[in-house]
Amino acid sequence: RIAEAMAARSKDELRSPICCILGHVDTGKTKLLDKIRQTNVQEGEAGGITQQIGATYFPVENIIQKTAILGDLTEEYKLPGLLVIDTPGHESFTNLRTRGSSLCNIAILVVDLMHGLEPQTLESIRLLRDRKTPFIVALNKIDRIYDWRATPDNGFQSSFAKQPKHVREEFETRVTATITAFAEQGLNAKLYYENKNFAKYVSFVPTSAITGEGIPDLLHLLVTLTQSRLTDRLMYVSELECTVLEVKVIEGLGTTIDVVLSNGYLNEGDRIVVCGLNGPIVTQVRALLTPQPLRELRVKSAYVHHKRVKAALGIKISAPDLEKAIAGSRLLVVGPDDDEEELKDAVMEDLQTLLKSIDKSGRGVSVQASTLGSLEALLEFLRVSKIPVSAINIGPVHKKDIIRASAMLEKAKEFAVMLAFDVEVDKDAALLAEQLGVRVFTADIIYHLFDKFTAYNKDIVEQRRKEQAPSAVFPCILRMIPGAIFSRRDPIILGADVVEGTLRLGTPICVVQFDPATKKRDIVNLGVVTGIENNHKPVELVKKGMAGAGVAVKIESPPSDTPKLYGRHFTDKDEFYSRITRKSIDVLKTSFREDLSKEEWALVVKLKKILDVI
């Protein structure tokens, strides 16, 4: 079958590449897509552009028309067309993959020429690199350069040549700044017409989504780049490549899936397998649907039915049992020779891999994302950021997800958190979260989620430190300066050196006495440090080596204890230890780990031995 599939591949019959648009908010992604869709043909015909499900298809004739202004390029185009995914900025689509490589064959990263690189641009770059997706940069809003003289829908270079000197200068300054900003991200970039090495340099295409300038250049580059550099990925294969973009309930149809067919064919009646939250779903295609073209709105049905469709296209599939299907899943067709069980395993594979990122300790945040791809991106980010995850899910956040997250309230409060990436939180779930004390953070950008979580986590840690401060005992060893006793009992006041560690207010102090009669070691608790004076000035703490001539330490015993007496319970020959316990060590470990130096942690171990702490 593989040989057959390979034979069916041909460099002459390429499929349409799939293109995604992404970038920071307000850079002009939507406007750019609108402008590309808009036709400049007089009669207002859509020029063969077909609106699909979640995507727009531009046949090559339309692209030829749109790029005609650059000269006659008809000969150059080998692709049947271009499929542009419609939801710009929806980065989950960039995350979608078919068999390990990105569903998007090429991406347009839109950058606002007037703003340069913005936070979301950086995130997009990171994603594109992770997925090894080739991309070109639309340097948009060139018309906003002061005094720009627009020639609508013109090729960029021709328009640029018409600009006055100061406009050209400002343009060049901004381009240089953007190239520098890309360099800081480790990316070499050049204006596309100066770019001689597309493998090494990212191309900038200056555009205006308002005047349409540069759009011919953008389309031309998209097509020529993909057909020259991605031929291999664009050859037809008899094998199918199909990905679920969205799961949607449609009146009259029930739960449907919107898919992108990136290679191969789909037929009405095909037996299909997709990944479901509760296991693989096997069902039969009832209908393959695309929207009714605009000009035929009078037709009753909202959809056109297809018997057979060919890649690349976006299409809605109506079939039974799709309720639990998940966005981002691969879709496979059961052929006559296929082992259905094998296909079921194959579609579940991606989800199984993600389930492995759940922390073994059972402690961690809950995460939820819109698609398998976006969940994968989020999990990867959390892994790198060392934030453990205890539960994952795909799709909107419901009550049951909150209940699951609330299990952490007992185990580790800082993880009683739901990170919702690019998904809705339903009202009941939000309400329940508030009642239970589960924090829900939502964002469309991964690092925003991360920022919200880390800020929250810091608050929680700070709060816990405050609560636990009284039970924290920092390690130290003191030695009395011989004869330096200023008050023999309650409060004891003595002069001492900090031999090791740090002496702090509030530290309980003890000595260890050996009773020769019973041959037993006894820990004698003297009380708690309530005053420290260094050079006659009260201080909160004294570190080893800080006080040259020693410090005066006041030790008060708690009312419940019998006060200890100098000469009877302790002398100036004793070593004085901070009284650590199992509990105080645990508190240090959970909340004050960073406050202790390596040396001080070693001292904790030493004191543990001296004081027989198990």
Residues that bind ligand GDP (CB under 6 A): 25-31, 88-89, 140-141, 143-144, 208-210
Q: How far is the CB of 93 from ligand GDP (least distance, A)?
A: 14
3-state secondary structure 179-228: HHHHHHCCCCEEEHHHCCCCCCCEEEEECCCCCCCCHHHHHHHHHHHHHH
Name which of 26 and 575 has its Cβ closer to ligand GDP.
26
Which residue number, 210 or 613, has a Cβ lying nearer to ligand GDP?
Answer: 210
Give the residue carrying structure tokens 């995507």.
55
For ligand GDP, the closer of residues 140 and 591 by Cβ is 140
Return the number of the residue (30 or 185) whose C-beta is nearest ligand GDP: 30
* 483 burial type by CB count under 10 A (0-12 exposed, 13-18 middle, 19+ buried): exposed
Minimum CB separation from ligand GDP for residue 337, in Å? 46
**Min dist. Cβ of residue 216 to ligand GDP (A):** 15
Query: Distances from the Cα of 152 to the Cαs of 63, 212, 215, 218, 220, in angstroms?
Result: 17, 6, 10, 15, 17
Least gap, CB of 150 to ligand GDP (angstroms): 10
Structure tokens at 408: 């952490």
**To which H or E segment does residue 7 belong?**
helix 2-8
Identify which of residues 35 and 564 has a Cβ nearer to ligand GDP in the complex: 35
Q: To the nearest whole angstrom, how small is the minimum distance from the Cβ of residue 189 to ligand GDP?
A: 19
Residue 23: what residue type?
Answer: G
Amino acid symbol at 215: I
User: Nearest distance from residue 140's CB to ligand GDP, in Å?
Assistant: 5
d(CA 576, CA 595): 22
List of residues 6+ apart from 437 with CB closer than 8 A: 406, 409, 416
CA distances from 462 to 419, 452, 468 (A): 21, 15, 10
Task: Report in angstroms how near the CB of residue 119 gets to ligand GDP at its nearest.
Answer: 14
Q: Which is nearer to ligand GDP, 27 or 357 (CB)?
A: 27
Residue 315 beta carbon to ligand GDP: minimum distance, rounded to whole angstroms: 24
Determine which helix (DSSP H) or strand (DSSP E) holds 41, and give its type and residue range: none
Between 120 and 557, name the residue whose CB sits nearer to ligand GDP.
Answer: 120
CB of 210 to ligand GDP, least distance (A): 4
**Closer residue to ligand GDP (CB): 210 or 505:** 210
Shortest distance (Å) from residue 395 CB to ligand GDP = 24
Closest CB to ligand GDP belongs to which residue?
Answer: 28
Indicate the pairing of strand 254-263 with strand 308-310: unpaired
Q: What is the dihedral of CA 232, 200, 380, 393, to 10 degrees?
A: -50
Whichever of 118 and 268 has its CB closer to ligand GDP, that residue is 118
d(CA 79, CA 421): 36
Of 26 and 359, the one with the shorter C-beta distance to ligand GDP is: 26
Read out DSSP for 513-558?
EEETTTTEEEEEEEEEEEEEEETTEE-SEEETTT-SS-EEEEEE--
In whole angstroms, give the CA distance from residue 611 to residue 525: 11
Dig out the tokens for 220 from the structure.
């031309």
3-state class (DSSP) for residue 264: coil
